[in-house]
Every structure is written in structure tokens, then in C-alpha cells.
Amino acid sequence: MLDNSRLRIAMQKSGRLSEESQKLLAQCGIKINLQEQRLIAFAENMPIDILRVRDDDIPGLVIDGVVDIGIIGENVLEEEVLSRQAEGQLPQFKMLRRLDFGGCRLSIAAPRDFDYQSPQCLDNLRIATTYPHLLRRYLNQYNVKFKTCLLNGSVEVAPRAGLADVICDLVSSGATLEANGLREIEVIYRSKACLIQREGKLTEDKQALIDKLLTRIQGVIQARESKYIMLHAPTEVLDQVIDLLPGAEDPTILPLANENNRVALHMVSSESLFWETMEKLKALGASSILVLPIEKMME
């Protein structure tokens, strides 16, 4: 029996979002004992239960208030919202933040030899997709009428199998389209994973825990996007060195033990250093240039 005082988080059990979702929660300090087959996992060190489900179920679980928060692709979330609106409901939830994984786009793709000029070329065709509402919203803008072939998987084989003329499916590297003789012709939605919360007031303790998690998530994501840079440089070229470094308004400058004309410079950069920049720094006389990953950050 689930304990209502514990925060319930829904995440994908197995698929494109599961590994990154697990990693994010672990980096936020949540200790979870994930046994492969278990639907529910309990955190050992915080009052948190993790529900591991099919990603399609996550928006509904949050909107219906069965779980408190969920990690889900914006594509699946938006499709669920549109689908519920089409049934006359007013689905409610709070968008807490976008995450830094699960990036993909929902695109219309056609057989390579399809002569495509504009959305009008799709008029009256049959389109295979898992996302009929997102597709309809897009094609309505162009007054294009179409027939759907609803498929929950293997959408990319539909044209070859004679089930549809074109498809509307998720694309990341484009390898799946390529392997199936298809060409991307329209991007209709760009998606990333996001964190959502159910509508309505939570207990003070639960809300405080969510706020704490959000601060930690911010720290984890910011750290992943940042690098710690250290180098030694001649004092006389310090200004030129700083000009080469992205976001180096406030570097730390430290004296070196046995050198009067050189200093150490330390800084956090929001970008990594490119090899070209490192070569320019070296040409200026910089040495011992180190670019280090950052594990956690709190400002």
C-alpha cells in the first residue's frame, strides 16, 4: 500500500528517458533501490516513491493527481493534453522545468522519391503516426485534410507495408528514417524531457521537498553545462588570456609559489574550451591548461 505522505514521482520504466531520469534523481541525492521488475521503488533516504511506468501513462497520472510529479517528453505530454481537450476536458498541471535530455523532433517523413513541395502535397493522404493530435494541429494551419493510421510502434515501416503514404514520427539522429528509405520533409514539434507537477496544493512537506529537488536539479544541469578551467599565464598577457575565455568576467587570479611573472587563473565557464582556444592560449604563453568537469553547483 502506498503511503500518501511520501512524494510520488513517475518516470519511464524502460526506454529512451529511463536511464537519464534515473541518473538525474541519483545525482540529486535520492538513493533508490531499483529492482528491474518492480513497478514501485522506494527511496531509502528521502520520503519518495518512484513509479516506473510506460511513458504514455505519465501525463495522465500527473493530470489525474495519482502521482505528484513526473518526468516526461513534451511530445507525449502535449499529445495527451490535446487528446483530453478534444474530449472536452480541461487538463491541468504545472510545468516545473525543461530538462537537458530526451531531445528529439516530431517530423513528417516521406519515401525518398516522394515529390514534396509544401504541406498541400499531403492533402488526402494517409499518415501513420502515434501523435494524431499534434499532427492535426499542425496540418490544420494549412487546411490540409488527411487520414490517420494509428500505430504505437514501428511507424517507420508503414509506407513500405502499404499501411500509409507518409509517416509522422520522432527523429533524433535520422538513422531510423534513413534505414527505412524515408526523408524528413517537415518538423512539426521540437521536444525535450520535462518535469511536471500535479495541479492543486500539496502538503507543506511535499512542496518543500519538490522545491529542494528543483534547486538540486538546477545545480546538476548547470554543472553538466559548465567546466572548471585552470591555467598558468604570464602576468603581462593576462588581459588577452581573459579575452579568449568564454564568460571570464570574474576569474580568480592566484600567485605562483616560485614565479613572479606568472599567475594561476581559475574560472567556471559555461562552455567547454575548444582545442583552437587552447592553442591560442598556449601561443600567448599560457601553460598547464586544465579543463575539468564539475559535479555539482550551488550559487
Ligand X SMILES: O=P(O)(O)OC[C@H]1O[C@H](OP(=O)(O)OP(=O)(O)O)[C@H](O)[C@@H]1O
The verdict on 15 binding ligand ATP (CB under 6 A) reads yes
The nearer residue to ligand X, 164 or 213, going by C-beta atoms, is: 164
The verdict on 176 binding ligand X (CB under 6 A) reads yes
16, 102 Cβ separation under 8 angstroms: yes
Q: Are strands 147-150 and 126-129 parallel, antiparallel or unpaired?
A: parallel
Query: CB under 5 to 8 A by kind: which of Mg ion, ligand ATP, ligand X, none does 169 bind?
Result: ligand X
Q: Which three cell numbers stand for residue 212?
A: 529542494
Query: CB under 5 to 8 A by kind: which of Mg ion, ligand X, ligand ATP, none does 191 bind?
Result: ligand ATP
The verdict on 31 binding ligand ATP (CB under 6 A) reads no
70, 62 Cβ separation under 8 angstroms: yes
Query: CB under 5 to 8 A by kind: which of Mg ion, ligand ATP, ligand X, none does 175 bind?
Result: ligand X
SS3 (DSSP) at 187: strand
User: Which position among 16, 136, 183, 232 is part of the footprint of ligand ATP (CB under 6 A)?
Assistant: 16
What's the Cα-to-Cα distance from 138 to each of 48, 134, 168, 227, rounded to whole Å? 39, 6, 11, 39
The verdict on 55 binding ligand ATP (CB under 6 A) reads yes
Helix axes 132-140, 74-86, angle to 10 degrees: 80
> CA 286 to CA 292: how far, in whole Å?
17
- Alpha helix (H) ranges present in 43-169? 58-63, 74-86, 132-140
Backbone φ and ψ for 137, nearest 5 degrees, come out as -60, -40
The nearer residue to Mg ion, 64 or 279, going by C-beta atoms, is: 64
The nearer residue to Mg ion, 50 or 267, going by C-beta atoms, is: 50
The verdict on 55 binding Mg ion (CB under 5 A) reads yes
Residue ranges binding ligand ATP (CB under 6 A): 12, 15-17, 54-56, 73, 75-76, 102-104, 170, 172, 191
Residue ranges binding Mg ion (CB under 5 A): 55-56
